[in-house]
Amino acid sequence: MVWQDTALSIINFGFILTLIPAIIQNYKNKDVKGQSFLTYVSTAVLLSIMAYLFLTLELLLSSVATAGTAVTWYILLYQKVVYS
């Protein structure tokens, strides 16, 4: 494992932790305030592509962490569609 894999993983797990409160707040309020639909879609899709690219570079932990970040954005996108 290279040090970059660890660093990228920590950063992405940090992103996940910062997005969880938004997901919970959206669920409680049944309302999504924040970014546009396009922002949610593009962020989720681009993070998915990044996760795949990390996997091809054999940065497994980074790939999993980035995929997790993408999943949180897909959840936010789902909430945007359902609650708007």
The whole-number pLDDT of residue 35 equals 86
Q: Give the mean pLDDT of 73-82.
A: 96
Percent of the chain with pLDDT over 90: 90
Q: Would the pTM count as exceeding 0.85? A: yes
The whole-number pLDDT of residue 71 equals 98
φ/ψ of residue 21, rounded to 5:
-60, -35
- Chain centroid offset of residue 49 CA: 12
Tally of CB atoms within 10 A around 40: 21
Cα-Cα-Cα-Cα torsion 41, 47, 51, 57, nearest 10 degrees, comes to: 130
Instruction: Domains for the chain: give ranges and CATH numbers.
Output: 3-83 (1.20.1280)
Residue 51 has, within 13 A of its CA and on its CB side, a CA count of: 18
The whole-number pLDDT of residue 34 equals 80
Q: What average pLDDT does the chain have? A: 95
Q: What confidence tier does 9 reach under pLDDT thresholds 50, 70, 90?
A: very high
